[in-house]
């Protein structure tokens, strides 16, 4: 599922020395969840700066093009051969002004669309942020020795020491007893 994801995936499951299968199929591996967040934030700021630079450059180029065309039309309108059909020149200038206005509108719409796409991407990244998941009451349980993330009861025995990562801080615990599935026989009502 990770390898086939159309959304870029950053793997940051455990400590720097740990490797999981996700690390080998993800688009990028970060040593820790915090490092993954730093990478994503840097990319977002880089994209914003690039959009701003391109906007300025495109605006300058558009202004230069309009100015060049106006000068050309002015020269033509002042030339001896075209003084008579001055109305044609005025119409061309009006058309140029209209096109310039339309081009500016298109540019503004493209910039606005790009900003909306960037904001949506930031929202998706925020929802996937490990800290946000932990703040909703989830935790990451790992073996105190070795740091492997515990996803199944078979990975720990009675007496095994665990590290429980919460949204704020961590707990150390030991397995006192292993039991059956706590949700077995529970009926969920919706």
Task: Tell me, yes or no, whether 127 and 161 share the same domain.
Answer: no
d(CA 38, CA 155): 31
62 shares its domain with 152: no
Is 21 inside a domain boundary? no
**Strand-pair partners of 161:** 174
Please say which residue of 133, 151, 185 terminates a domain: 133
- Please report whether residue 4 resides in a domain: no
Place of tokens 């720990």: 156
Domain shared by 118 and 155, yes or no: no
Q: Would 154 be classed as within a structural domain?
A: yes
Query: Which residue intervals of the chain are DSSP H helices?
Result: 21-25, 33-78, 86-128, 130-135
Domain-embedded: residue 55: yes
Along the 190 residues of the chain, how does pLDDT read in single tens digits? 777 888 877 777 766 666 777 777 887 788 777 787 777 777 788 888 989 999 999 999 999 999 999 998 888 777 766 566 677 778 888 998 998 989 999 889 998 998 999 998 888 888 777 788 888 888 899 999 999 999 998 898 889 999 999 988 999 999 988 876 655 554 545 4
Spatial distance between the Cα atoms of 123 and 5, rounded to a whole number of angstroms = 17
Check residue 172 and give its pLDDT: 95
Q: How far apart are CA 62 and CA 122, in angstroms?
A: 30
Domain membership of residue 188 (yes or no) is no
Co-location of 129 and 100 in the same domain: yes
Please tell me the total count of domains within the chain: 2
Residues 122 and 143 in one domain: no
The answer as to whether 184 is a domain residue is: no
Q: Are residues 169 and 114 in the same domain?
A: no
Residue 71 lies in a domain: yes
Residues spanned by the domain of 36: 32-133
**What CA–CA distance (Å, rounded) separates 79 from 55?**
36
pTM of the entire predicted model: 0.36
Dist. CA 155–CA 142, nearest whole Å: 10
Asked if 101 contacts 109 with a C-beta cutoff of 8 angstroms, the reply is no
């Amino acid at each position: 599922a990770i390898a086939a994801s159309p959304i870029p995936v950053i793997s940051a499951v455990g400590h720097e020395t740990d490797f999981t299968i996700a690390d080998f199929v993800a688009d990028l591996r970060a040593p820790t969840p915090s490092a993954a967040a730093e990478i994503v934030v840097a990319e977002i700021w880089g994209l914003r700066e690039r959009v701003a630079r391109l906007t300025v450059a495109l605006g300058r180029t558009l202004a230069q093009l309009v100015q060049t065309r106006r000068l050309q039309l002015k020269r033509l309108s002042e030339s001896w051969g075209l003084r008579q059909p001055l109305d044609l020149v005025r119409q061309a200038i009006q058309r140029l002004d209209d096109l310039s206005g339309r081009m500016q509108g298109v540019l503004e719409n493209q910039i606005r669309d790009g900003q909306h796409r960037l904001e949506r991407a930031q929202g998706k990244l925020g929802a996937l942020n490990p800290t946000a998941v932990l703040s909703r009451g989830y935790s990451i349980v790992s073996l105190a020795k070795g740091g492997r993330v515990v996803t199944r009861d078979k990975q720990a025995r009675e007496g095994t020491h665990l590290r429980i990562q919460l949204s704020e801080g961590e707990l150390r615990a030991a397995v006192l007893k292993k039991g059956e599935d706590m949700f077995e026989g529970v009926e969920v009502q919706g």
